[in-house]
Structure 1
Amino acid sequence: MENNGKNKPLFFLNDRLEFPPVSNANPEGLLAVGGDLSPERLLLAYQNGIFPWFNEDALILWWSPDPRMVLFPDKLKVSKSMRKIIASNQFELTKNKCFDKVIEHCSVLERKGQEGTWITPKMKEAYLSLHEKGFAKSYEVWQNSNLVGGLYGIDLGHVFCGESMFSLVSNASKFAFIHMVNELRNESYKLIDCQVYTQHLESLGAQEMARDKFMQILHKEN
């Protein structure tokens, strides 16, 4: 371990399949460095409120921010304009039809204020492995038989951990998100983990929650 200058020791992972308590994260949410992206480690991370986020050719960084951005399914907000788009039948939705294409689109999408992508080739390989094991799920949006939007994340059975989304046409990813939330609400999921605050997520009904409360929900499956 090494002090990161924020009175929190920075934990360096080794080959052991473990993480420090999330309370050890620094004020920015950084918890640990290193380790690998094996399906077992990734799943352990999500089950404990931790996710990887790092740049290509850099050490793997593991995060658990406080507060946490979450969406309770019954708090979803759908604007009048979006309701009209849904009713227009201009989009079609599928699930787990082309996970590989969704994550590829997410990896090349340019995002305001970010240089490069955190969805590196190793990340894509790791999440494809989780998809093959049934833990990583994708939702795809189609228009005139063309893939125009979608999202993917990790399904823990009672909490869905959203990872990334993309749109090639206006409102496509929002269409996928709304349908996903409605589906999870019908299946009695506790919440959708959105990780960190954005205005876009807030407009859809997401809110910040203290990490301790988030962890209580995460660890309570029933």
Structure 2
Amino acid sequence: MNGQQRQHPLFVLNDRLEFPPLETANAEGLLAVGGNLSPERLLLAYRSGIFPWFNDDSLILWWSPDPRMVLFPEKLKISKSMRKVLKNDEFTLTKNQCFSEVVKHCSKVERKDQEGTWITKDMLNAYTQLHEMGFAKSYEVWQKDKLVGGLYGIDLGTVFCGESMFSLVSNASKFAFIKLSQELEKKKYKLIDCQVYTNHLKSLGAEEIAREVFISYLKT
């Protein structure tokens, strides 16, 4: 193998409600392809440290990266400029008032090195089902009567799995993330799953931890 890491064959999902061992994911964290976006499979995925992420013209791709980007709510960093934003009542926050609109806005956000969107119509329908079941939550940021930012994710009870956020005006998504973090700290949540590293998330206090450590938080 010339010192290279041995590559496992990619697992193809079928109708059985199962995923392969996380250790079989490749170096980028890709674990499996195929399957469907049923509520049961999605909940099994999130509870197992797995999430779907794919373009609208590809098969469903399932990921479990190592390391994992997370925020421990008590380690949230709030900059001086954001402290001013929080104090001046520029924004107001609601929860679960317009879930589909938040997801649709997130699907339109242009992301570096990515063509198209990974939030497809099937994804919207699947997460709307999870929302109706009480698992998918949205946080909406308003400027007067206009929706200007927000985020959504999966609430597992003591871990919140963040999926995506958007801003139509400066600082709106940061406002949503800070409010989410502060609320979850009060409720004694263990962490917010941020999935993969970004400088933006790091600036808010998020950090990378080993996948096995992340899984231990999910299990306890």
TM-score, normalised relative to structure 1: 0.96
Q: Match for residue 26 of structure 2?
A: 26
SS at 1:119's partner residue? coil
CA distance in 2, matches of 1:86, 1:186: 17
CA distance in 1, matches of 2:191, 2:47: 14
Q: Quick check: 1:140 aligned with 2:160? A: no
Q: Indicate conservation of the 8 Å contact 1:6/1:27, yes or no.
A: no
SS at 1:45's partner residue? helix
For 1:37, the aligned partner's letter is L
Structure 1 runs (4+) deviating above 3 angstroms are none
Q: Indicate conservation of the 8 Å contact 1:6/1:26, yes or no.
A: no
Q: Match for residue 112 of structure 1?
A: 112
Q: Match for residue 14 of structure 1?
A: 14
CA distance in 2, matches of 1:65, 1:35: 19
**What is the number of residues matched between the two proteins?**
216
SS at 2:125's partner residue? helix
1:166-195 per-residue CA deviation (whole Å, 9 max, x = no partner) reads: 000000000000000000000000000000
Q: Quick check: 1:66 aligned with 2:57? A: no
For 1:107, the aligned partner's letter is S
Question: Where does structure 2 lack aligned partners over 5 or more consecutive residues?
Answer: none
Q: Quick check: 1:82 aligned with 2:82? A: yes
Distance change in 2, residues 1:6/1:120 (3 Å): farther
Deviation at 1:6, TM superposition (A): 5.2
Q: Match for residue 56 of structure 1?
A: 56
1:51-101 per-residue CA deviation (whole Å, 9 max, x = no partner) reads: 000011210000000000000000000001100011000100000000010
Deviation at 1:8, TM superposition (A): 1.3
For 1:67, the aligned partner's letter is P
CA distance in 2, matches of 1:95, 1:89: 17
CA distance in 1, matches of 2:112, 2:32: 26
1:126-183 per-residue CA deviation (whole Å, 9 max, x = no partner) reads: 0000000000000000001100000000000000000000000000000000000000
SS at 2:10's partner residue? strand
Q: Match for residue 200 of structure 1?
A: 200
CA distance in 2, matches of 1:219, 1:15: 25
CA distance in 2, matches of 1:145, 1:209: 39
Q: Quick check: 1:129 aligned with 2:129? A: yes
How many percent identity over aligned positions? 72
Q: Match for residue 95 of structure 1?
A: 95
1:20-59 per-residue CA deviation (whole Å, 9 max, x = no partner) reads: 1111111110000000000000000000000000011210
